[in-house]
């Protein structure tokens, strides 16, 4: 692994804490409609505080949330959910080969490493999901958003984000 897996906790407090519940509901409804049926095993890769893992578990999916951030995992586990949470690096998923029916990686959590690191993540997803399983990547495309939505500036707790 050539690129370290680092980020700041400020990311969670600046962005994740302010997501409209209606957005999460729409995302979970979409996921529920395309994932294998209730009871299937789902890995929520880079689950953070469980905004998808927890409601998916409530819908009957057997969810394992994986994140590198211990504080986010404690937040997720504090909700009394049936989902389980594992602290690990997404480039080394500590699950058996073919151990899940689906992998979800939401909110642009994929693509932040160098080429070798991103390939390692994709290889781990492919290894962890069963044959003919489902992998869902939520990937943003900067040029598309710039062309169609333009740029925006956010003011979050005194931080200016463009």
DSSP string over 98-143: T-EEEEEE-SS-SS-S-HHHHHHHHHHHHHHEEEEEEEEE----HH
**Residue 5 pLDDT exceeds 60:** no
Cβ partners under 8 Å of residue 148, min gap 6: none
- In the chain, what is the greatest distance between 2 CA atoms, to the nearest angstrom? 48
| Structure confidence at residue 160 (pLDDT) | 65
Mean pLDDT of 133-158: 73
Q: Calculate the average pLDDT of the chain.
A: 85
d(CA 161, CA 86): 31
pLDDT on residue 138: 86
Confidence of residue 142 (pLDDT cuts 50, 70, 90): low
Going by pLDDT thresholds of 50, 70 and 90, the confidence category of residue 53 is: very high
Summarize pLDDT for 78-108 with one digit per residue, the tens: 999 999 999 999 999 999 999 999 999 997 7
Tell me the whole-structure pTM to 2 decimals: 0.82
Rounded CA-CA distance 41/72 in Å is 21
For residue 39, the 8-state DSSP code is T
Query: Which carries the bigger pLDDT value, residue 112 or residue 65?
Result: 65
- In this structure, are strands 41-45 and 84-87 parallel, antiparallel, or unpaired? unpaired
Whether 65 has a pLDDT exceeding 90, the answer reads: yes
Tell me phi and psi for residue 27, to 5 degrees.
-65, -45
**CB of 45 within 8 A of CB of 66?**
yes
Which of 144, 140, 119 has the alpha carbon at shortest distance from 15?
140
pLDDT tens digits, 10-49: 656 655 556 778 888 999 999 999 999 989 999 999 999 9
Among 4-18, 19-33, 61-75, 131-145, top mean pLDDT goes to 61-75
């Amino acid at each position: 692994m050539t690129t370290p897996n680092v980020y700041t906790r400020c990311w969670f407090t600046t962005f994740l804490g302010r997501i409209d519940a209606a957005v999460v509901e729409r995302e979970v409804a979409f996921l529920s409609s395309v994932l294998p049926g209730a009871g299937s095993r789902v890995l929520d890769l880079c689950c953070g505080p469980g905004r998808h893992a927890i409601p998916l578990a409530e819908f009957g999916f057997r969810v394992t949330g994986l994140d590198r951030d211990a504080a986010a995992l404690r937040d997720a586990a504090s909700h009394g959910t049936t989902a389980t949470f594992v602290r690990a690096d997404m480039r080394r998923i500590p699950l058996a080969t073919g151990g899940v029916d689906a992998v979800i990686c939401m909110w642009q959590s994929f693509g932040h490493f160098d080429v070798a690191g991103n390939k390692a993540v994709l290889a781990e997803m492919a290894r962890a999901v069963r044959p003919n399983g489902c992998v869902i990547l939520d990937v943003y495309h900067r040029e598309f958003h710039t062309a169609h939505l333009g740029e925006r500036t956010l003011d979050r707790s005194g931080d200016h984000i463009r």
